[in-house]
A = this chain, B = another copy of it.
Amino acid sequence: MTERIEADYLIETPIDPAQAAQAMAGEQSSGTFVKVPGETPELHERSAARVEALEVIETVATPSLPGGAIADSYTRAKVTLSWPLDNTGPDLTNLMSTVTGNLFELNQFSGLRILDLRLPKAFAYAYPGPKHGIAGTRALSGVSNGPLIGTIIKPSVGFNADQTADLVRTLAEAGIDFIKDDELQADGPACPFEDRARAVMRVINDHADRTGKKVMYAFNLTGEVDQMRHRHDFIRDLGGTCVMASLNSIGLAGFLALSRHSDLPIHAHRNGWGYLSRAPMLGWDYAAWSKFWRLAGADHMHVNGLRNKFSEPDDSVMESAISLLDPMFAEKPCVPMPVFSSGQSAVQPPETYRRLGSADCIYAAGGGIMAHPDGPAAGVESLRDAWDAAIAGIPADTYAKEHPALAKALGKYRT
């Protein structure tokens, strides 16, 4: 822990990297392009950002991004900057302007990406962090061991409230632990939020009355602040146990207005993450980005999945997931439950478990459940089997001999 804010960056620069790092530090604190009269040595000492570390990695012949200064070669380096806490105080929104504001377009860089972030303890006192996290999610879903087996309502959008509830009934009867709205389904006239919530919660409550198992459903309440708070209360009053919000669509101040108000776990959806991260020398690494939302109160955070249907490599998926388990503060770890999804089936659990080192996650599959040869119940069972085997250290094929749902899933989904 430190009394200064620290951020790590990957930079690529046509100039001396030490000079480039000083330019970043200046631009994001008391300096500017030119020396200004008010920047006295005392002010500089009090307010300036500092370059704490600089490690050159390699040089490349062509710039990753256009528009910067031109040179014969471009140096890539890892840089750590620090800021005095007194510049902004423990304030997440202004922290964002400080560590990721007007610097990606600086002409001294042909690449700039934030990698990670370390915050003074004052931030831990100022923000809620996840109110439920892993333990609370387990308590509310009644899943005490292994992952929550989850799925997403598909088609993403187009079902009305009753059609959604019908699918929820099928999934509940199949033994699912967790269901979420697709992020495209919110409060459109074709499927109003409150209608959907009533119809779905009727099914979930009935199922809980009969079986003792209450399926956790993440209702997408993304909207304006008052709408989100109202929808949260509506879900809570119906006996619901989870709400979902699209982080990039509402932003940090809106999310905080929800999270400070919320009694329920917040399922934090990262849609839009691609534009923040897919250019390797620009934007955000997940470890840095997720810390804003973890501290702000995200209980579940999406990390994609192994062999997913998107462009993200497996190593990146696992780095993201593992970063979530790293405590932000000793007194307040702010550890949310990682959510794996996209192209998942009974095939990936052994590797996911081995690389994560934990079964504290939501493991969501669509086709991996609905398209199982013996139907959705066998699909859910095959995922549980796969995780049970992984946790017990038994090879999937060995376990599959006594577990037919797993055997059929491996036959179908292994390609």
Q: How large is the interface on A (under 10, 10 to 19, 20 to 34, 35 or more residues)?
A: 35 or more
Q: Which of A149-157, A322-330, A398-406 contacts B (4 or more CB under 8 A)?
A: A149-157
Asked if A19 is at the interface (CB within 8 A of a chain B CB), the reply is: no
**Contact between A101 and B250, CB atoms less than 8 A apart:** no
Are B225 and A105 within 8 A (Cβ)?
Answer: no
Interface of A is mostly: loop
Determine if A272 is an interface residue (Cβ-Cβ < 8 Å). yes
Which residue of B has the minimal Cβ distance to A274? B104
Q: Which residue of B lies closest to A254 (CB)?
A: B253
User: Given A46-B190, A186-B94, A254-B253, do A29 and B66 touch, yes or no (CB 8 Å)?
Assistant: no
User: When the two chains form the complex, which single residue of B86, B93, B94, B163 contacts A189, counting CB atoms closer than 8 Å?
Assistant: B86
Contact in complex: B278, A67 (CB < 8 Å):
yes
- The distance from the CB of A346 to the nearest CB of chain B, in whole angstroms, is 16
Copies in the complex: 2
What B residues does A249 contact at CB under 8 A?
93-94, 96-97, 101, 251-253
A127 to chain B, nearest CB (A): 10
Among the listed stretches A31-39, A133-141, A203-211, A349-357, which one makes contact with chain B, having 4 or more residues with CB under 8 Å of it?
A31-39
Interface check A370, CB cutoff 8 A? yes
Are B252 and A250 within 8 A (Cβ)? yes
Q: For A32, give its contact among B96, B269, B366 (CB under 8 Å).
A: B366
* Contact B67–A253 (Cβ < 8 Å): no
28 contacts between A and B (CB under 8 A): A29-B157, A30-B155, A32-B156, A38-B158, A44-B158, A47-B190, A48-B158, A67-B278, A86-B189, A87-B158, A88-B188, A89-B187, A93-B250, A94-B223, A96-B272, A97-B183, A97-B249, A97-B271, A97-B272, A100-B275, A101-B271, A101-B272, A102-B271, A104-B272, A104-B275, A251-B255, A252-B254, A254-B254
- When A and B form their complex, which 9 residue pairs have the shortest distance between CB atoms, in order from nearest? A251-B251, A253-B254, A104-B274, A67-B311, A47-B158, A105-B274, A101-B271, A279-B279, A250-B253
